[in-house]
Structure 1
Amino acid sequence: MTESGIHYLDARGPDGMRLYAIGDVHGRHDLLAAMHRRIESELESAPASDWRFIHLGDYVDRGPDSKSVIDFLIEAQKRDARNIVLAGNHDIGMLEFLADGEPDGLFMNYGGIQTAQSYCVDFTRDMDWFGKAEAVARGHMALLKAVPRNHVDFLQSLPFSVSFGDFFFCHAGIRPGVPLESQSPQDLIWIRDDFHDHPGLYPKVVVHGHTPVPEAEVMANRVNVDTLAWKSGTLSALAVNGGDKRIITVQGKAL
């Protein structure tokens, strides 16, 4: 520990509690299920008195099966509330699209078409006939009918951050100089450069996703576990057991 914050090498999880922080899923239900199986196998072979699975956001868009990802996470939380699911910018973007049908927002421009397809709604089908604006309006109405109410309720319920031991978990990162308890939701799901470029330590090690990297990135003040799972076929997580910290991955088909 230093006056200015905590270094990754010194950071510890709570005594007796194992932490598993899982990076951006983006519609890859196959990889999310594989990661859960891997972690559950670890917990069976070496039981822990307590644990948390912390999902770092971006469950929808780009990949092929966002609907199944949300179904999976809803069921995981029903089985055990120690499955923690945080909000990502794409998850909030889906809610915003359902609310306003914006044809040029995050959802439509960055993978929402694939999300809609997982709910059996095809935005592209009508574009040649009606043009984008009309096709999106029609698709928006169809998606409102197709997305189950419990999916909307689930997405609306997601917290933006959680903290355990010397670690602070969120989707994108934090605003340097702002107390952890005062971080804005906008920064927690969107920030990049100001957070990444900060040279000093933070009050806690920040574990995040949001910005894809070829392999998990472990820095003195933060850990990035977004390994572009939807495209690379590699889903990564940070495992913390006391002072022991390691990256674990599962592999699937690259798209």
Structure 2
Amino acid sequence: MFKSLFRPKPQSRRASSTGGRMVYAVGDVHGRLDLLDGLIGAVTEDYRDTGREDPPVLVMLGDYVDRGAQSSAVIDRLILLKAQAAEGRFEFRTLMGNHEETLLHFLDDPMAGPSWVEYGGGETLMSYGVQRPVGRAEPEAWEQARQAFRAAFPSAHEAFLRQLELVVVYGDYVFVHAGVRPGVPLERQVPADLLWIRNEFLDNPHGLKATVVHGHTPVEEAFVGRQRINVDTGAYATGVLTAVRLDGGEPKIIQFSKARAT
């Protein structure tokens, strides 16, 4: 299934404006704190090498939780980064992914649990010390799991997830988790598409006068195209976490993997 989502290799493209900012956009982390820490280090080094002194922008494209084993620790790290950004060291923007939306849904509705654990929610529960129900559990078991999860889920984590953004714009770049509905103006896009859309967006011109930067759909290599950039390289499965640097020139791909670091 993972390989079926792979898309063509990068296309040549024109440079787009970032409104004068240096922006780094990070793809889907999925519970891989080790990769996130390594990539933040690589981004920091890259920024120092540019010689710029204005604060950069760090955009997280969503899907911080599920599949990997360290979802709770990833959210802790993002909260720390947000606090550091408040000191003026950099600007920090965090987008919601479909996995965060589903986690929040489970906090309120136990019957969101069965589908959630099918695509990684079980690992998130375990990262908070909560056991997932076994097999085809009854609704009562899911309610017990929901109550245990809510009791274990820090209020700071819930507050962080509930303030996540759906869209961020810098110059000619639009940052979303999954993509946009083709032919629909940005101001009329709906959350369901921004968080979940796939083939309709990937296979058709979106019609916006912008380059859309997104994750959500894993690709074998980061995709840098004329209309969109995809930096989801399936970190939980490949061990490779990807970012793109945008500064008005040619986009630069930055990656970290444990294999390359050893």
Give distance in 1, aligned partners of 2:214 and 2:18.
16
Unaligned runs of 5+ in 1: 1-6
Does 2:167 align with 1:158?
no
The TM-score with structure 1 as length reference comes to 0.89
Q: CA RMSD in A?
A: 2.0
**1:233 alignment counterpart:** 239
Give distance in 2, aligned partners of 1:89 and 1:78.
24
**1:85 alignment counterpart:** 94
Letter in 1 for 2:83: K
Give distance in 2, aligned partners of 1:11 and 1:45.
22
Q: CA deviation at 1:83?
A: 1.4
Q: CA deviation at 1:66?
A: 0.3
Name whichever of 178-187 and 113-122 sits farther off: 178-187
Does 2:108 align with 1:99?
yes
Q: CA deviation at 1:157?
A: 0.4
Q: Percent identity?
A: 40
The TM-score with structure 2 as length reference comes to 0.87
Q: CA deviation at 1:30?
A: 0.7
Equivalent pair of 1:206/1:223 in contact (CA under 8 Å) = yes
Give distance in 2, aligned partners of 1:201 and 1:19.
23
Q: CA deviation at 1:104?
A: 5.2
Superposed, which structure 2 residues align to 1:53-132 within 5 Å? Answer: 53-81=58-86, 82-102=91-111, 105-124=114-133, 127=134, 131-132=137-138
Does 2:48 align with 1:39?
no
Superposed, which structure 2 residues align to 1:22-33 within 5 Å? Answer: 22-33=26-37
Equivalent pair of 1:90/1:106 in contact (CA under 8 Å) = no
Give distance in 1, aligned partners of 2:51 and 2:116.
40
Give distance in 2, aligned partners of 1:89 and 1:106.
13
Does 2:28 align with 1:19?
no
Aligned length: 244
**1:177 alignment counterpart:** 183
Give distance in 2, aligned partners of 1:200 and 1:104.
33
Give distance in 1, aligned partners of 2:33 and 2:196.
23
Distance change (3 Å), C-alpha of 1:243 and 1:179: same
**2:3 alignment counterpart:** none
Cα deviation 1:215-247 (Å, max 9, x = unaligned) = 111221101111100111000111112223111
Give distance in 2, aligned partners of 1:236 and 1:35.
7
Q: Helix, strand or coil for the counterpart of 2:116?
A: helix
Distance change (3 Å), C-alpha of 1:120 and 1:182: same
Equivalent pair of 1:174/1:191 in contact (CA under 8 Å) = yes
Letter in 2 for 1:101: P
Unaligned runs of 5+ in 2: 1-11
**1:142 alignment counterpart:** 148
Q: CA deviation at 1:185?
A: 1.1
Q: CA deviation at 1:8?
A: 3.9
Give distance in 1, aligned partners of 2:202 and 2:101.
22
Cα deviation 1:90-141 (Å, max 9, x = unaligned) = 00100000110115554222111100111011115xx37x945443222211
Give distance in 2, aligned partners of 1:218 and 1:46.
21
Q: Helix, strand or coil for the counterpart of 2:22?
A: strand
**2:248 alignment counterpart:** 242
Distance change (3 Å), C-alpha of 1:165 and 1:106: farther
Give distance in 2, aligned partners of 1:106 and 1:224.
26
Distance change (3 Å), C-alpha of 1:83 and 1:177: same
